Amino acid sequence: MARKLGVLLVSSMLAGCAAAGPGPAAPTPPPAPESTPESAPESAPESVPVSVTPAAAPPSRPRCSGKAEPGDVNGDGYADLAFVRTGADWRERAQLVVVHGSARGLDPATAYVAGDGAMSGEVPPQFADLDGDGCADVVIPDRSLMIFWGGRGPAAVLPYGSHSGVADLDGDAAADLLATTSRPDGTGGRLVRLHGPFTRSGEPARRSGRPLPEGEWPGRMVTDPYGPDLVVYGPDDGEQAHAWLLTGEDFREVATGSSAVFGDFDGDGRRDVAIGDSGARNNEPGMETEDPSVEGITRVFYGGADREPQVLDGVRGSLHAGDLTGDGADDLVSGEVIGMHARVVGGAEILTGSPAGVRRPGLSFSHRGPERGPAGKRLKDWERGSIRTWSVGDHDGDGRAEVIRVWQGGPGRARFWRVDGAGATLQVFDLAGKGG
């Protein structure tokens, strides 16, 4: 029997989200700005990571049946890892690499190349069972919208790019694909809805669409794979953008901030969304700062009509979500730790979900990449600390999700850490690059 993957799969519509602005006081007030996140307890020194070269082709096709669990491409009940590694230069096509989960966590020995395509590696893949066969498919909304059926190629390629994603917009339990396109007259944009289930050629059961908010042209999109909602961003010039939340048929401008993630942070069965400062800045003279209502601010909009947005000061960077503790409430993972005087290079922060909302201060932890790169060159500290949170999933089937972080040392190497809800590193392994 498939094991629980620790992600709450309740799809209900967000309602009553307040408009943007500093916002009223949160149900659980954040601490004073000088408060800093707690640190994870010291872990034992890391042993030499296992290093593997992914197999050149997928294993035999699994038997898929029943309902696909989140992130499980081979139907064994464990969440899998999907990672895009890029070539040495623009002439070399990127590859999708899949690593299967197991009772011991991710198993590097199962790593294989699922296929290749026009992918940049900047966008973590999404998982959804688009054809309803009981195994999750890998969706990569990047230079084009690519679908690797059951985590294997060849991919179906649809004429959409990074402005797309996966959600169950109509609530029929069949995953949908959504994308934004420009109007022919250039006056604005349109939201395209491709309703599942899909054929293996990428043909949807039906199509629909609606205009984007008045005056907005197609921007980046963040979708909820486990719910009916999405965030569409307005135009930006390298800084933080205006975020529009779609619930039902209504767009609502809710905040300014280029990071967003959906989850159930208070465990009430309704979907919530966190929107915050990604840290990106326009590098033109005089444009390096943001308004105080945006700088280092993340807001959590709760699905209940009686909840005001929770304002988190000092939380910025990439945002991810998952139930790391198994208590039924998703936790918020921030990709950047901000201390009193400096940011922690290679750091991340876990903010625990609870019935009262996301709790502060969070739990901080950090990693460093290897001292030397694939060519043997000694790396600078900032190169070693160029680590990002890649995904969150329950890879060992214990009902508690884990955080996956990655250091990319060019096409020759990628190092992964699997981290639990207490900030402890459970696993470290390397994937060799092409020809590695």
Cβ–Cβ contacts within 10 Å for residue 189, how many?
A: 21
Q: Say what the pLDDT of residue 147 is.
A: 96
What mean pLDDT is reported for the chain? 83
> Average of pLDDT values for 240-259?
87
Q: Say what the pLDDT of residue 218 is.
A: 66
pLDDT above 70: residue 277: yes
pLDDT above 90: residue 126: yes
Alpha carbon separation from 89 to 45, 122, 140, 235, 397 (Å, rounded)? 35, 15, 20, 29, 38
Q: Say what the pLDDT of residue 420 is.
A: 97
Per-residue pLDDT band for 150 (boundaries 50, 70, 90) equals very high
Rounded-to-integer distance, Cα 189 and Cα 15, Å:
24
- Give this prediction's pTM: 0.86
Per-residue pLDDT band for 423 (boundaries 50, 70, 90) equals very high
Share of the chain above pLDDT 90, in %: 47
pLDDT above 60: residue 106: yes
| Calculated CA dihedral for residues 409, 415, 421, 424, nearest 10 degrees | -110
pLDDT above 60: residue 115: yes
pLDDT above 80: residue 50: yes
Q: Say what the pLDDT of residue 411 is.
A: 66
- Which of 375 and 114 is assigned the larger pLDDT? 114
**What pLDDT digit, counting tens, does each position of 299-342 carry?**
999 997 678 899 999 898 899 999 999 999 999 999 877 665 56
Rounded-to-integer distance, Cα 393 and Cα 341, Å:
32
**What pLDDT digit, counting tens, does each position of 174-228 carry?**
999 999 887 766 667 888 999 999 999 999 999 998 888 876 666 788 999 888 8
pLDDT above 50: residue 390: yes
- Which of 44 and 238 is assigned the larger pLDDT? 238
pLDDT above 50: residue 279: yes
pLDDT above 90: residue 7: no
Q: Say what the pLDDT of residue 327 is.
A: 96
pLDDT above 70: residue 19: no
